[in-house]
Structure 1
């Protein structure tokens, strides 16, 4: 359940903040970049960070002290990092 909530928050944030930029990209024919910015990039960042954090914590605390991959609250750590990435992509170059 924690992973579904995290993914929902990430995708909602990505669609909310990047919809205008993705619509502009799609209008000039850059469909791949638009889909990547809205969907694939946040999901890849989330799973990369969550996997890294999960296995490091599991290595430190032990297998018995950490819930399963999809049910651990470590999903929220990956979600926060992915949302920060979405916000950074929405802000664009400074």
Structure 2
């Protein structure tokens, strides 16, 4: 499983209009899940595109959010079907994955 480093930022402005403005500036909206809540984030498209490539499975991403390092896995990538533009990225911290697995047993 490959590992990558990535800087992410909190997204303060939400909604379609804010997402379109961010995309024009080369950013991709996303979500970082933390327990039962989610943190809106934004990523630089030039940095995330080579990480995702054509296959986003089994990719670990060490993200830096406000100086805090978090080991995550790409949970889901939404793309525009015709031109393959990345629309949204969901990241799941590995700690949450372990906690969720322990709750099942």
TM-score, structure 1 length as denominator?
0.27
The structure that has the greater radius of gyration is 1
Larger RCO (alpha carbons 8 Å, 6+ apart): 1
Structure holding more strand per residue: 2
TM-score, structure 2 length as denominator?
0.25
